[in-house]
Structure 1
Amino acid sequence: MDLVLLIEQLLNGLQFGVMLFLMAAGLTLIFGVMGLINLAHGSLYMVGAFAAAAVASATGSFTLALIASLAAAAIAGVIVEMVVIRRLYDRDHLDQVLATFALILIFSEGTRWVFGSFPLYLDVPSALSGAVDLPFGISYPAYRLAIIGIGFVVAFGLFLLITRTRIGMRIRAGESDREMIAALGVNIAVLYTAVFALGAALAGFAGALVGAIQSVQVGMGEPVLILAFVTIVIGGIGSIRGAFVGALLVGLTDTMGRVLLPVLFGAFMNPSAATSIGSALASMSIYILMAAILLFKPTGLYGSA
């Protein structure tokens, strides 16, 4: 494998990782503050992607499409939290899983009813449609570089929000002792709704960004949701820093595994068998990584007991 291909795959892994972070950050906030297992988080990712595709088709503006993804996912999140989720906080996790699984079915069928069963397509904005020349003779898509940059900016913004603002102080206090902050006069219902809306908006934003790379279709959020759960388990539940580090680890492990493992096995067997075995092991690699980390640090890299 030459250096150019290696660097390109590292960049692909970073792009995949920051997309996972946008999903995992909202998920870890919701679970850390509310103690809620939200299987419908992937549906909010899908809502954002469909909203962006619809607005981009109607207006031709990618910027408006991104704004629409944030707004649509946040509004959907507020409605879901107030109508359904609010009744689940004091229930056990099995009830939460069953209720949010039902929401997946409702969102999927509702989206299919509104937009149809055929996939939609979101075009890359013209300003980012070309490639950027990088050192070592590498030419890499500008849009993927933009996703990497946006992911790092959002991560920094979330860090400042959680650690430097009053709402962040309340979120951190809600993770530690929700009864105490309620007793101190904080409206816990409003706090929960705000956190859920923020997590939903991040998921929708991720869906809109990825929608310009792949097709926008019903059910697109569920595979990403699984990886987001892996990410927050690796990083530590409730930790934004852990979600960021875990997302980068998952993205790089998955991407590099799909490239390096077939090459490794190709030295011992025929190319077709090496590709098949290497791809299978690459799909397992992130779960092997998760198991190895939990073996030595059961709370995740940055989680607390």
Structure 2
Amino acid sequence: MDFANFLIQLLNSVQYGLLLFMLAAGLTLIFGIMGVVNLAHGSFYMLGAYLAYSLSGMFGSLTLAIIGGTILSVIFGLILERILFRHFYHRDHLDQVLLTFGLIYIFEEVRSLLWGDDVHGVTIPNVLAGSITLTENQSYPVYRLFMMGICLLLAIGLYLLINKTRLGMKIRAGAFNRDMTESLGINIKLIHAIVFAIGVGLATMAGMIAAPVSSVYPNMGSQVLIMCFVVVVIGGIGSVRGALIAAILVGLVDTFGKVLLPQVAGMLVYMLMAAVLLWKPEGLFKQ
């Protein structure tokens, strides 16, 4: 592998890893802070992709579609948490699994009724449709660099929110000791609603920015859900920093594994997870 090919695969690894982080960050927050096993998290990714398809056609702009879709997804997350998830915080994980597994089928059926079962494409904006030349024969798409930039900005913003704001302090307190946090007068139900809405918003935005690259098709959320759980387990449940590092590791192992060891590429990510758990059963970082 020459340097140009190595650079392309490295960029692909980072881009894939950062996209996984957007999904896994919301999942690890919901799981680590609220204690909810949300198997329907991948459906929010699918929802984002279909929103990008519909809203970009409606507005004629992917940027407006992403802004509008993010606002709609946060509102949807708040409503879903209020009418459904709030009643399962103190229930067994089995009840949560059954609930969210059922939601997958509901979301898929609603998707089929609204958009059908065909594969759709989302057009890349003209300003991002070009490529950056790496060598005489190789280039790298500008839109993938744009995806990395958006993901990095969101990662920085999420870090600042969790670690540098009063809301983040309340979120961390609620994750550490819910009863003590409530006794101090903090509205833990509101905190949980905000955390859930943030998780839904991140997953939906990931689907929207990935739609022009991956296309829009049925059951697309199921394919990324397992990888998100792998990232959460490797990084440590509830740790946003761990999710970021784990997502980059998974992106590197998956991408370079498919190039260098295609015969066993499907096993490498899970071998990485097994190795990390043998070394640190709680994941790379504690909450």
Place the TM-score, normalised by the shorter chain, in its bin: over 0.9
1:58-137 equivalences in 2 (<5 Å)? 58-134=58-134
Residues 119 and 216, structure 2, Cα contact 8 Å, conserved in 1? yes
Q: Which amino acid aligns with 2:95?
A: D
Paired with 1:222 and 1:77, the residues of 2 have a C-alpha distance of 19
List per-residue Cα deviations over 1:235-264 (Å, max 9, x = no partner). 1111110000000001110000000114xx
List per-residue Cα deviations over 1:163-182 (Å, max 9, x = no partner). 00011001111110011111
List per-residue Cα deviations over 1:111-143 (Å, max 9, x = no partner). 111111112211111111010134898521000
Q: Does 1:165 align with 2:165?
A: yes
Q: Does 1:35 align with 2:35?
A: yes
Q: Which amino acid aligns with 1:101?
A: F
Moved over 4 A (4+): 134-138
List per-residue Cα deviations over 1:11-68 (Å, max 9, x = no partner). 1111110100000000011111101100111111111111111010112111111112
Q: Which amino acid aligns with 1:60?
A: G
Local SS of the residue matching 1:54:
helix
Paired with 1:123 and 1:297, the residues of 2 have a C-alpha distance of 43
Higher relative contact order (CA 8 A, sep 6+): 2
List per-residue Cα deviations over 1:82-110 (Å, max 9, x = no partner). 12111111111110000000111111101
Paired with 1:71 and 1:118, the residues of 2 have a C-alpha distance of 26
Paired with 1:138 and 1:148, the residues of 2 have a C-alpha distance of 19
Residue 235 of structure 2 is matched in structure 1 by: 235
Note the residue ranges of structure 2 that are not aligned, 5 or more in a row: none
Residue 290 of structure 1 is matched in structure 2 by: 273
| Percent of residue pairs bearing the same amino acid type | 50
Q: Which amino acid aligns with 1:223?
A: Q
Which is further off, 114-123 or 127-136?
127-136
CA drift of 1:76 comes to: 2.3
Q: Which amino acid aligns with 1:160?
A: L
Residues 32 and 237, structure 2, Cα contact 8 Å, conserved in 1? yes
Local SS of the residue matching 2:132:
strand
Residue 223 of structure 2 is matched in structure 1 by: 223
The CA RMSD measured in Å over matched residues stands at: 1.3
Q: Does 1:143 align with 2:143?
A: yes
Paired with 2:57 and 2:143, the residues of 1 have a C-alpha distance of 19
Q: Which amino acid aligns with 1:19?
A: L
Q: Who wins on radius of gyration, i.e. which is larger?
A: 1
Paired with 2:247 and 2:137, the residues of 1 have a C-alpha distance of 28
Q: TM-score of the superposition, structure 2-length normalised?
A: 0.97
CA drift of 1:188 comes to: 1.1
Local SS of the residue matching 1:140:
strand
Residues 120 and 216, structure 2, Cα contact 8 Å, conserved in 1? yes
Local SS of the residue matching 1:169:
helix
Paired with 2:104 and 2:77, the residues of 1 have a C-alpha distance of 13
List per-residue Cα deviations over 1:227-286 (Å, max 9, x = no partner). 011001101111110000000001110000000114xxxxxxxxxxxxxxx2xx111100
Paired with 2:155 and 2:137, the residues of 1 have a C-alpha distance of 29
Residue 274 of structure 1 is matched in structure 2 by: none
Q: TM-score of the superposition, structure 1-length normalised?
A: 0.91
Residue 19 of structure 1 is matched in structure 2 by: 19
Tell me the matched-pair count.
287
